[in-house]
Amino acid sequence: MSIFSTMIATATAVATFLLLLTLTSANGPNRHFNKIYAFGASYVDTGNTNATTAPSIFRYASNLPYGRTFFHRPTNRYSDGRLVIDFVAESLSLPYLPPYLNLEADTSTGINYAVAGSTAIEHEFFVENNLTLAITPQSLQTQLSWFNKTLEGLNCKSAKSTSRECRAVFRDSLVWLGQMGSNDYTYTLRSNVSAETIQRLAIDRVTRFLEAVLNKGAKYIVVEGLPASGCLAISLFLSPASDRDDLGCVASVNNQRFIHNTILQANIQNLRIRYPKAVIVYADYWNAYRSIIWNGPRLGFQELYKVCCGAGGGPYNFNLAAICGSQSASSCQDPSQYVNWDGLHLTEAMHKVLSDLFLEGPFTYPPLKYLLSRKNDSN
């Protein structure tokens, strides 16, 4: 049986749900938390990188047209507007999360530690393998060290040694871990480092991160799986036309991410058993992404693979030598009709539908509403 068979079998039901999302306004989970602590890479980063600190391929994210749709200015988000984490904050009636490196920001309602280009595996691994070109030095371990500094300032050392202080931090806090590992695979592409090595190490590092925050006392955690990155313009641009799946995306990339997610989910289930007082929700980014591609026109997406902001024409309008924000690139008139923003990142419209699927839909396990009910029962 193909790994896509379940997806195909439920396509009609998912299509109906997605259509309803376009016709109704999701109420969201409302104000169940007073803080969000977010981690991840460029799909979550709300400003920890900029033109001078980001990987070279991201060096124009401090320029328009980035940010044009909602903020009407660049905010160092890797999109034309809001990200999934922004819509999550809105649904919880919280302000958008300030980046950790903005030392003047109000952090009373949470902090975003995500860094564009960051890896699950520590940077030293890439140095040892001579893979440091255009790679950000911040990893998930860096983000954890930043988080630990925040917790130290709140006198939270561990759930055992400072139980009262840590309970005060996490009682009303949501921990959101965006997808981590895609950059690890990308940075080692065509190197001597095997994909199997990356899979093993990246999943191990994410699991260790989750163990660390659970030992601090985290009670409510959402973990995103890897997206179907084979549907991104950069993957399609770099792969042979023979390497395609049932949706026209790069089969080898999507298969790799699917297997990665399967192992990650098994580790998450083990953590649920070890930490029964915590609620760990898995956000199925892979299937959510694919469901949107499958039902794109119903959702108003007329361009599923071509980038809104880029250059080069052709089927993808993507050129690594003329990326979004550079003088050679231009942006489309209506980004809401596009899934791909710049070939590596998504449009605000895509982030919005994804957030709806996570907050209200069938792509979180257990459902996010279960986490919220557990939260309410504990009050």
Cβ atoms 274, 307 nearer than 8 A: no
Give me the catalytic one of 32, 260, 345, 351. Answer: 345
The answer to whether residue 172 is catalytic is no
For residue 220, what is the enclosing H or E element?
strand 220-224
The answer to whether residue 56 is catalytic is no
Neighbours of 156 (CB within 10 A): 22
**Among candidate residues 97, 128, 118, 141, the one with its CA nearest the CA of residue 197:** 128
Query: By three-state DSSP, how is residue 54 classified?
Result: coil
The answer to whether residue 260 is catalytic is no
Query: By three-state DSSP, how is residue 239 classified?
Result: coil
217 Cα distance to chain centroid: 23
CA distances from 270 to 193, 225, 277 (A): 28, 16, 13
Annotate 112-137 with three-state secondary structure: ECCCCCCECCCHHHHHHCCCCCCCCC
Q: How far apart are CA 329 and CA 378, in angstroms?
A: 52
Q: How far apart are CA 35 and CA 169, in angstroms?
A: 9
Q: What angle do CA 259, 260, 265 make, to 5 degrees?
A: 95
- 96 DSSP 8-state letter: P
Give me the catalytic one of 42, 139, 229, 291. Answer: 42
Give me the catalytic one of 45, 184, 284, 342. Answer: 342
Residue 128's DSSP bridge partners are: none
Helix axes 140-153, 195-216, angle to 10 degrees: 10
Residues sharing a CB contact under 8 Å with residue 56, sequence separation 6 or more, in sequence order? 134
What amino acid positions are annotated as catalytic residues? 42, 342, 345
